[in-house]
Amino acid sequence: MFSQLELLIAFRYLKSKRSEGFISIIAGFSLVGIILGVATLIIVMSVMNGFRTELIDRILGLNGHIGVYENQNDFNDYEEYSVAIAEIPDVMAVTPQIEGQGLMVYNTNAEGVVVRGIRWLDLPARKQLFSSLKDKNLENYEEDGILIGYRLAKKLNITKNDYVSILTPQMQVTAFGSVPKQKRFKVIQTFNVGMFEYDAGFVFVSLESAQSLYGYKKQNSITNLEVYLRSIINIEKIKNRIKSISSNNLNITDWVDRNASFINALNVERNVMFIILTLIITVAAFNIISSMIMLVNSKTSDIAVLSAMGASKTNIMKIFFITGMSIGVLGTIIGTLIGVAFCENIEKIRLFLENFTKNELFSAEIYYLSKMPALIDPLEVLQIIILSLFLSFFASVFPAWKASRILPAEVLRYE
């Protein structure tokens, strides 16, 4: 495809000469631009992928894939629905749940929390929560026990076996008038699921305790059923099966519906970041055009001599195409290696920078996660490489074509 002579001349033109220092500086900036563009694009896309994957895994590890609610306020007589839904293929578990707001009080400290009442035997279905618990022997879990997020426990200085009280908006009439309903719980242990929202603001109690705390009159009354699937591929079919069971008495939502605004925001942010960072590579490609045109203008005498010695227009075009494309290929290779290496060690780099600057760079309170995630998608990396080479290709074609159009007779006339 390329002769040895063409490669030799092209690579010689890449070497800097004192008289061509300005040209080599522009070419150097082009190389750095390609490297930074490719590396940054890989890093940002990998972090966005990791962020999305980690959040979804944690959300699904704490909540069901499908939520089933009764159109009335309370979900009464849920057992028959639970049994029918559990018989649907690909349904792994169906768990009843009560959810409400509360105020947790410990000594003189208080904090608003989301209270979830579940059956302790259903804990393994919530993989993210169950895997974070040290004591997995469910026989040790008392009816009046409570699980607390570790950040919440740390904030209120709560430890295992301490007693806390939960106050709810529901009122009860006493000899002293109407007061909020409250119940005392013993802390079984704390959990750490890696999501700030849950670790700092959620508590889990037994289903029976939640029914008593929130004044459910019937023992078989709940807020909703959480349905866990073996695979989310057939989630729409399963939703339709559940609808056919309910006869329009149930309101059915899936994890996408419940997190739609959040997922849409992630997708929009990811697409916008891709477009913005692609512009870095585009600017670097224009720098290749500038440096190559300046190189062509400085090498008109060489081009004329080569043409006079028998080099064809195709030979001339190939020489300058190789010169420009070499910048793009080299920048893409180095940028890819830097980007992948950075992603593989991103958490170590974050910790080093935080220790060095003494500032928190990735706050769990803002970004929900306690660790910076990065998930490298090989197909996406390949797309970035192709994009970079594609822009470099077109940036090299025009200067090479311009070089091939130089007439040797016109140049040598004035030599």
CB 298 within 8 A of CB 406: no
Same domain, 78 and 217: yes
CB 142 within 8 A of CB 185: no
Instruction: Tell me, yes or no, whether 254 lies in a domain.
Output: no
The pLDDT-based confidence of 346 (bands split at 50, 70, 90) is: confident
Same domain, 241 and 266: no
- Full residue range of the structural domain in which residue 229 is found: 72-248
DSSP, residue by residue, 340-400: HHHHHTHHHHHHHHHHHHTS-SS-HHHHSBSS------HHHHHHHHHHHHHHHHHHHHHHH
Instruction: Tell me, yes or no, whether 253 lies in a domain.
Output: no
Q: Which long-range contacts (CB under 8 A, 24 or more apart) does 366-372 make?
A: 367/51, 367/196, 368/55, 368/195, 368/196, 368/197, 369/51, 369/54, 369/55, 369/58, 369/194, 369/195, 369/196, 370/192, 370/194, 370/195, 370/196, 370/199, 371/194, 371/347, 372/47, 372/50, 372/346, 372/347
Same domain, 266 and 408: yes
Same domain, 243 and 352: no
**pLDDT tops 80 at residue 291:** no
Instruction: Tell me, yes or no, whether 188 lies in a domain.
Output: yes
Same domain, 275 and 146: no
Same domain, 192 and 299: no
Instruction: Tell me, yes or no, whether 66 lies in a domain.
Output: no
The reported pLDDT for the residue numbered 19 is 47
pTM of the entire predicted model: 0.74
Instruction: Tell me, yes or no, whether 133 lies in a domain.
Output: yes
Across 16-30, 158-172, 243-257, 344-358, the highest mean pLDDT is recorded for 158-172
The reported pLDDT for the residue numbered 366 is 59
Domain finish residue from 248, 279, 295: 248
Same domain, 47 and 165: no
Q: Of the ranges 101-105, 344-348, 371-375, which one carries the lowest mean pLDDT score?
A: 371-375
Domain finish residue from 187, 222, 248: 248
Task: Please count the structural domains in the chain.
Answer: 2
Tell me the mean pLDDT in the region 66-84.
82
Domain finish residue from 248, 276, 297: 248
Distance CA 71, CA 366 (A): 34
Task: Give phi and psi for 3, each to the nearest 5.
Answer: -80, 165
Distance CA 42, CA 46 (A): 6
Same domain, 89 and 227: yes
> Which tens digit of pLDDT belongs to each residue from 101-147?
999 999 888 999 999 999 999 999 898 889 889 888 888 888 899 99
Distance CA 235, CA 253 (A): 11
